Amino acid sequence: MNYLNSADGNTTNCTYSARISLLPHRSIAMKEANNDLAQAYEYQGFWFLKQALRGLIWAQDHFKPHPAATLVASYPKTGTTWLKALAFSIATRNRFDLSSNPLETSISHQCIPFLELEIPRSPSHKYYPDVPLFSTHVPYTCLPDSITGSDCKIVYICRDPTDTFVSWWHFARKRAPEDVEFVPIEEGFQQFAEGYSLYGPYWEHILGYWRASLDRPDQILFLKYEDLVLNTSFYVKKLADFIGSPFSIEEERDGVVERIIDLCSFKHMSGLEVNKSGEHSNGLDHVTLPNSMYFRKAEVGDWKNHLPAKMKEQMDQIMELKLRDSGLALGSTSNP
Ligand code: PAP
């Protein structure tokens, strides 16, 4: 059953919408197509767009994961597109020749569906149903019990908060109609720093997956964008081991790891025709986005080009306070 097409789908959809409209809500630094600021709804301690929240509540009520599935989880703009490409190419390398991998003609979001966006509309999703990968931006503590109580593996990626915010702000600005004055970056930053961001507060999102990875290290792999940039080969092999598709000695000798890294690299992916001029629906109602919006600069420390150092310091202080006693330090790991 999905929430749109099942016999009682419209009723279910309306019931969810009615429940959501009773939740606390506020505007966030993102414009709708009609130029209004988007509304975010507070649910179980986090902020969501209505469409994603409908999908999440549906998933909490109905979703059953494939027992061998791996969930690719992330806060938006922390490396989702990259991690999905890596996971997909690792998982399908014996099925597709790397040079004809679907990632050459589709953005990774079209290869791995989102739990809260595409799956509620089409639970037996049309992408690659026999590739047991799905993805989410949903915080750990809001995941359906059917996932957290199962043998599903989860791989999570996080990123420096100020780079994440800057990446988000550019994305949100590009989503807004061109002729519309956008929210100033400083205002958007303040909201993010106060915890009013989609799927945020960001630190709570990180902490949920971090704590779960400490409790269940065999089931939850916690990665950092900066580590993947610095030490790509090490973490790609770790990812392959984790999802149960380790590289053989022969594959390592034949350069398969490097070929996967090259296929998924920002340089290669951002240069593909599908990612320069293609578009895809991200599962939100009636929203089609150019794939190019998911490929901007991919630089560690790009915040410097957009925000003053004092804002970065403010963000780092907030994170230090929030992550205190967690044992987690953001930024690259010196000795992986
Ligand atoms: P999403 O959560 O909406 O899917 P996500 O892919 O997490 O977005 O974030 C996009 C960021 O990842 C962009 O960062 P930037 O704005 O700082 O440039 C994008 O450039 C970067 N990115 C996309 N693909 C890759 C890749 N193959 N390697 C490294 N970074 C990438």
Tens-digit pLDDT profile for the chain (336 aa)? 555 544 445 556 778 888 999 999 998 888 776 777 889 999 999 999 999 999 999 999 999 998 889 999 999 999 999 999 999 999 999 999 888 899 999 999 999 999 999 888 876 666 777 889 999 999 999 999 999 999 999 999 999 999 999 999 999 888 777 766 778 899 999 999 999 999 999 999 999 999 999 999 999 999 999 999 999 999 999 999 999 999 999 999 999 999 999 999 999 999 999 999 999 987 766 678 899 999 999 999 999 999 999 999 999 999 999 999 999 988 878 666
- State yes or no: cis peptide before 201, omega within 30 of 0: yes
Residue to substitute in 74, 205, 262, 294 for testing ligand 1 pocket (most ligand atoms within 8 angstroms of CB) = 294
47 Cβ below 6 A of ligand 1 = no
Q: How far apart are CA 17 and CA 22, in angstroms?
A: 9
297 Cβ below 6 A of ligand 1 = yes
Which helix (H) or strand (E) is 47 found in, with range?
A: strand 46-49
264 Cβ below 6 A of ligand 1 = yes
Which helix (H) or strand (E) is 30 found in, with range?
A: strand 25-31
Hey, what CATH topology would domain 7-323 get? Answer: Rossmann fold (3.40.50)
Q: Delimit the domains of the chain by residue range.
A: 7-323
Q: Pull the structure tokens for residue 60.
A: 């909490």
The phi-psi region of residue 160 (left if phi > 0; otherwise alpha if psi is between -120 and 50; otherwise beta) is beta
Task: Report the separation in Å between the CA atom of 226 and the middle of ligand 1, taken as the mean of its atom positions.
Answer: 12
User: Is the pTM for the entire model greater than 0.85?
Assistant: yes
From the alpha carbon of 159, which atom of ligand 1 is closest? 7
